[in-house]
Amino acid sequence: MPITLKDIADRTGVSPSVVSTVLSGRDNGTFVSKDTRERVLKVAEELHYTPVRSGRPRGSRRLRRQRVDQFIGVWITDSDSGSLAVLEQLQTAIRQYAAMQGSSDSFDYDFGLRLLSSEDLSRLDMLGVIGLIVVGDTALPRSAAAASLPTILLGETDHAPQELVTVHMDNFAAGRSVGDHLWGLGHRRVAFLAPGSKARVTRQRWQGFQSVWVENGGPLDGCLPAPYDMKVGLDLRHQILATVEELFAKETKASSPTALICFNETVAAYTLQALTTIGKRVPDDISIVTFGDTPNGSEAQFVALTTVRVPTKQLVTSAIAQLYNIAHELSEGGEANQLLRGRDLGFPGELIVRDSSKHVDAAK
């Protein structure tokens, strides 16, 4: 009875797809550690493994069914409605990209999507993962993947590893669009509810917003930072409630904000609750603008929210194209460190004006 890939996999403790990658010379072992590669080759030699040649092109449907599928790994750092919407878009984009490329003798675009847990990150070479997409604003831990494994971050973070490709909304421009909108409505005192834990995204949006005040000669003390995650021991809802109460605790016409910018739709939803608790009406007493516009998000609130719509489809399509291009180049013998260095792609969002933002008399 002939020796199979599964026999070798059982002896080496890896998946059949990893064995297939090593024995076929696919990607020259790029996505398999050196130790694993050597172990697979040694066991294959000991078992006198002889590959079966079908005579068909490598990318044929028959051969695809014979091997265990490899995957694009997805690691979501923050599970919320936005990240789940991204996951759905990724599934669609992978299918469309593979269909558009068709089959190839040198590179197979037909890969599945695998949602990873934190525990999976230390054993990527055993999972048949050709590359990673990280959804969120946290870089993949350096210990989790070798520099040769293509990794795309769908988000922004400070001090991202050089080998990481980032694809994200242009958050500076998003902050500017919110600032232009509120300035045009007459608002001159605006608070920004954002987390300190998302330092780069918060800073980019804040600086974009502030630039509008600077260019128009507005009062800089009219830009109020309101970090809500500094309150230890409270869940998100109560953190935001406490922050909103503080903003209006010593209310006077000169010091109270006339508009609030919320970091995302979840923050905006809790802010609406908090404003109702303290007797503030949106938009009659105060305007709200946020970022996101996911299904059942901004438009589904009891006051439809003005928001900057994240270009999710464009981000996801770009991320998939980047990942496949890098993986393909690596399979042709390219150097990973050169291919992955310095790619940072930002795409503009779209301001969607709804009921939550209203004109005010700037003279008051």
CA distance 48 to 54: 19
Stretch 252-259: mean pLDDT, rounded?
79
Rounded average pLDDT over 115-144: 76
pLDDT tens for each residue of 207-247: 999 999 999 999 888 999 999 988 888 999 999 999 999 99
Domain 1-68 matches domain 69-169+312-347 at the CATH topology level: no
Q: Which pLDDT value is given to residue 64?
A: 37
Decide if pLDDT at 314 tops 60.
yes
Query: Where do we find the tokens 């005579």?
Result: 55
Over 90: is that where the pLDDT of 288 sits? Answer: yes
Confidence of residue 10 (pLDDT cuts 50, 70, 90): confident
Query: CATH says 1-68 is which class?
Result: mainly alpha
Higher-pLDDT residue of 184 and 141 is 184
Q: Pairing between strand 223-227 and 190-194?
A: parallel
Mean pLDDT of 90-114: 69
Strands (E) across 127-231 are located at 129-135, 151-154, 165-169, 190-194, 223-227
> Which CATH topology does 171-309 take?
Rossmann fold (3.40.50)
363: which residues sit within 8 A by CB, 6+ positions away? none
Mean pLDDT score, 138-143: 66
State pLDDT tens for residues 21-80. Answer: 676 554 434 456 767 777 877 887 777 665 543 333 333 333 333 334 467 888 888 766
Q: 115 - beta bridge partners?
A: 74
Tens-place pLDDT, residues 338-361 = 555 557 899 999 999 999 999 998
CATH homologous superfamily, domain 69-169+312-347: Response regulator (3.40.50.2300)
In the chain, domain spans: 1-68, 69-169+312-347, 171-309
